[in-house]
Structures are given as structure tokens and as C-alpha cells.
Chains A and B, each alone.
Chain A
Amino acid sequence: MSTIIAYFKGIGQGLNTLWTGMKVTGYYFFHARKEIITMQYPDNRDTLKIPERFRGRVVMLHDQNNEHACNGCTMCEMACPNGSIKIITDKILNPETGKAVRIIDKHIYHFSMCTLCNLCVQACPSNALAMDNSYENSVYDRSELTFVLNQPGSKIRDNVKD
């Protein structure tokens, strides 16, 4: 007799535990509008807030005169763990002093190899590099992921130390 009672008691307790869980789901079913956390992602691009520290990809900062702060010291190239940065430098003759000055020809950045670790930005002594907040970086061909960071026609700012 006691086993039969225990059997039905077990069924009752089991149903009770199921009901406890169903109460939680039931609450959210009837209070669905109370806290909506789902984002309608592609439609909410305009209102999407990306934190300013979000690491999208590496960019070189240019001012309004199309001038950057990179003097080609290759600190970022050495700091990069994956070899995704390659700097091609050039030398020009400073007309005032008559000395050869190192400038960058191309600051090549392979986004396909980059792990966005931020070490290059930290290594840069003249704060020429930064991480932008871009997302949706997928492309159809791998070659499109190689960027030249210095803009065409840009030159180094005057007050940057060598």
C-alpha cells in the first residue's frame, strides 16, 4: 500500500516541479513586452550603439590636412604577433638640413591575419594607429582584406619626433 502511495506521490511531486518551471516560462509569455532584449539586427543599424573601445580593425589616423603621425619606426610591425603588418619605408632628402629622412611609403595591413589584439596600437610611440568601430567586415575575396593604411598623397605631420 505504502509503495502505491509513494508512487502517486512521486508523480504528484514530479508534476509540481514541471509546473514550477512552466510558471517561469508562462510569466515571460504573458509579459513578453516587459523586457525585450532581442535586437532586430540588420534593421537597427542606425540605432546600434557600438562602444568607442570596440576593436573593429586597425586604421591610421589622418587629420584634415591629410597628414598622419607615422614615421615608419616599425614598432607595430615588431609588436604584431601574426605578422599582419608590413611597413615599406622610403628615404627622402630634407632640403633644409640636407639629411636623409625616413618616411613611410606603404603601411600594409593584412586584416585576414589580424587577431585584433591591440598590441600594435599600444606599441606605437606617436599614436598614429587606432582601432575603429567598424563591423560587417566580410568580403568575397581574401585580397580585399589587405589594406594600405596611409591614405594616398598623405604625408607625415611636422611635429612628429623621429
Chain B
Amino acid sequence: MQAELISKDGTQEYFVNMGPQHPSTHGVLRLVLTLDGEIIKRVEPHIGYVHRSIEKMAEFDTYKQIIHLTDRMDYLSAHMNNEAVALLVENALEIEVSDRVKVIRTIMSELTRLASHQLWWGVMGMDMGAITTFLYAFRDREMINDIMEETTGARLTMNYNTPGGVMFDLHPNFQKQVKEFIKIFKTKLPEYDELLSGNIIFTERTKGIGKLSLADAISFGVTGPSGRASGFACDVRKTNPYSAYDRVNFTEILLVEGDAYARYKARIFEMWESISIIDQLIDNIPEGVIMAPMKAIVKLPKGEFYQRVETARGELGVFVVSDGNKTPYRVKFRSPGFSNLSVLDHISRGHKIADLVAIMSTLDLVIPDIDR
């Protein structure tokens, strides 16, 4: 066994654990690396360190109660996760929510997406060794958190959606605050490009690193900005529009390079698209009820239901098997992080350890989303 590992020139492969407490794994992800010197031969992700059995817990909760669990999966796109379950229940019961709710959900989703991408941008810079970006990103993200706090009552795990609508009406200050944020952030976003996008150290470390081809992106199921950077048209907002996405104009960002830099650029471009979506909707939020009439105990009809939404990381699918009771028989979440992680081994072979940090960062992994 030992003799097999030793190659012709006398060197030997060895194993290194990266994580579960490594800061660049953004959580408790353990990567077992097989290395030849500094070259990565194999990456084996070991997951399950923050497994909370959310799918099993959901089997004992009513459909209203499941929503607060989904906050804790991908905490950076908490609103979209909530929306997925809420939409599933509404579609299963054929409840039509008001236009106001649809628009509110869309604006909130895009705000969450902006906040998520801002955090990712800051952390991405920090992984590359630049603390500056982290502080700049959190400066802008704080404004979104304040908007969220004012309307939903929580900054991160909002639990704002309920089947049939949203929990509270918009705060009277909401429109003013969002417009102010958009106005300020439009001047701040070019700073992101100046600070990091053109930076020679950053581009040298990301261009041509972790190339993911279109065929691989499709076969591994890499969705979200990571998939679209390889040319995979997988935006659920375009393919299966939900909420108010069918009435706004936005471009699906598609790049062809598929390397770490393309994944970075895809998210920067997506921030501009999110701004444009909010711009189109914020001035014409229709009047209407915020809650469709619902029964006190929500019971789904017997059968199987699937709903997908586009979170900041990719496609989140919720699959519910119902036996007609007030709790689901089985819930399965198709989380974007899990599929995006699965491609890590494939695209990081042959690169250096430092490149692995860049690749992981551009895949934008959130570990509680992978483990659930």
C-alpha cells in the first residue's frame, strides 16, 4: 500500500485536513485533501458537522411551522427559502395571493440577494487576503439589514412569509428607505469593481482557476451564479417565473469562461440586475391584502408537490409528499449548496491549495445549507 503511493521520482502523496474549523471553509466543512507537494490530487468533502435534521423535523411540524426552519438552512437567503415553502403550499391549495404580496416578496427576495452577494463579496476578498473588502461590504449590507429589521422585525432569519401572504404589511418608511439605499448603493457598487475586480493580485489568483465546463455544470447540477458563469441558463426566475418576476425586465447573466473570475463577475453583474428589478417595482407596489383567506389548520391534499425558487446560491427545490394530514409525510430540500459543493473535487484537481480557497469562495458555499 505504502509503495503504491510513492511515485517514480520518489515523492509521496499525503493527506491534509482542511477544516472543519478552517476560516476559509465558511463554516464547519471538512475537506480531506490528497496532495502531491502543493498540488491537489483529490478533494473529499466531509459534511454533516451542522446537520440539524431539518427535513425530519419538518415531518412533525405543520406547514406554517416548517417555514421558520427553512430560515436556518441558507441563512443568507432566508427570505427565498421561506418563499419556497409558502409558494408550495399556495400552489398545492390553489390559493391566489394578491399582487401586493407578490411584489413585496420579489422586492424582499432581491434585497436578500443583494445582501447575500455583498457578504459574499466581502468574504471573497478576505479569503484572498484583503480585509478592506469585508468592511466595505458590511457597510452596505447594514443598510439592507436595517430595512429588513424595520419591516419584518428580524435582521437575518426573518420568517416573513406565511402560506397565503406575508406576516406584516410594509413599514411606512419602507419605500423611502429602499429608494435611499438604491441611490447610495448605485454609487458604492462601482467601488467594488475598483477595489477588487480589476486588482492585479485578485485577477491573477482567479483567472483560469477552477474552470467548469458547461457540460460539467449541467451534469453536476451546478446552479445559480456559479452555473451561469459556465453558460448554464438555469435561472428559475426566467425559466419558471414565480411571484412578480414575470412582470419585470432583467437579463439572465450568462458568461462562458466558467473560471473563478467568471463566477465572481456573474455575481457582480447580478447585483446590478437586482438593483434594476427593485427599481422597477419599488414605485408601483399595488394595494391589496397582505394575507389571502386561509384555514386555521393548513392541510395539503394527498400527493406530491414540488416548488423551486432561485436563491442567491442557485436553485432551491422543495419536495413534499403529503398524506392529507396537517403535517407532511416527507420533505426533501434540494439545496443549491450541496450540488455546488459536489463539483469542488472535479474543478480543483491539479490546482494549488491556495487556489482551492479561491474556488471554494467563488462557489459561495453556505455550510448549513449543505447539511440542513
B-contacting residues of A (Cβ < 8 Å)?
Answer: 13-15, 17-18, 20-21, 23-25, 37, 51, 53-55, 79, 81, 115-119, 122, 131
Determine whether the beta carbon of B152 is less than 8 Å from that of A53: yes
Instruction: Count how many chain B residues have C-beta atoms less than 8 Å from C-beta atoms of the other chain.
Output: 30
Known A54-B149, A122-B167; judge A37-B64 contact (CB<8 A): no
Distance in angstroms between the alpha carbons of A23 and B198 in the assembled complex: 13
- Asked if B49 is at the interface (CB within 8 A of a chain A CB), the reply is no
For window 187-203 of chain B, which residues contact chain A by CB distance below 8 Å?
A: 191, 194-196, 198-201, 203
Shortest C-beta distance, B136 to chain A (Å), equals 8
Q: Which A residues are CB-close (under 8 A) to B152? A: 53
Q: Which B residues are CB-close (under 8 A) to A53? A: 149-153, 168, 171
Determine whether the beta carbon of B199 is less than 8 Å from that of A51: no
- Asked if B226 is at the interface (CB within 8 A of a chain A CB), the reply is no
- Asked if B96 is at the interface (CB within 8 A of a chain A CB), the reply is no
Q: Which A residues are CB-close (under 8 A) to B325? A: none
Shortest C-beta distance, B41 to chain A (Å), equals 32
Apart from A20-B198, A53-B168, what are 10 other A-B pairs with CB-CB below 8 Å? A13-B200, A15-B200, A17-B198, A24-B195, A25-B195, A54-B149, A55-B153, A79-B64, A81-B65, A118-B167
Determine whether the beta carbon of B69 is less than 8 Å from that of A81: yes
Shortest C-beta distance, B354 to chain A (Å), equals 19
Determine whether the beta carbon of A117 is less than 8 Å from that of B199: no
- Asked if B142 is at the interface (CB within 8 A of a chain A CB), the reply is yes
What is the chain B residue whose CB lies nearest that of A133? B153
Determine whether the beta carbon of B153 is less than 8 Å from that of A54: yes
Determine whether the beta carbon of A25 is less than 8 Å from that of B132: yes
Residue among A14, A15, A21 making CB contact with B196, cutoff 8 Å: A21
- Asked if B302 is at the interface (CB within 8 A of a chain A CB), the reply is no
Distance in angstroms between the alpha carbons of A14 and B200 in the assembled complex: 5
Shortest C-beta distance, B131 to chain A (Å), equals 11
What is the chain A residue whose CB lies nearest that of B146? A51
What is the chain A residue whose CB lies nearest that of B149? A51
Distance in angstroms between the alpha carbons of A115 and B168 in the assembled complex: 18
Q: Which A residues are CB-close (under 8 A) to B65? A: 79, 81, 117, 119
Q: Which B residues are CB-close (under 8 A) to A118? A: 153, 159, 167
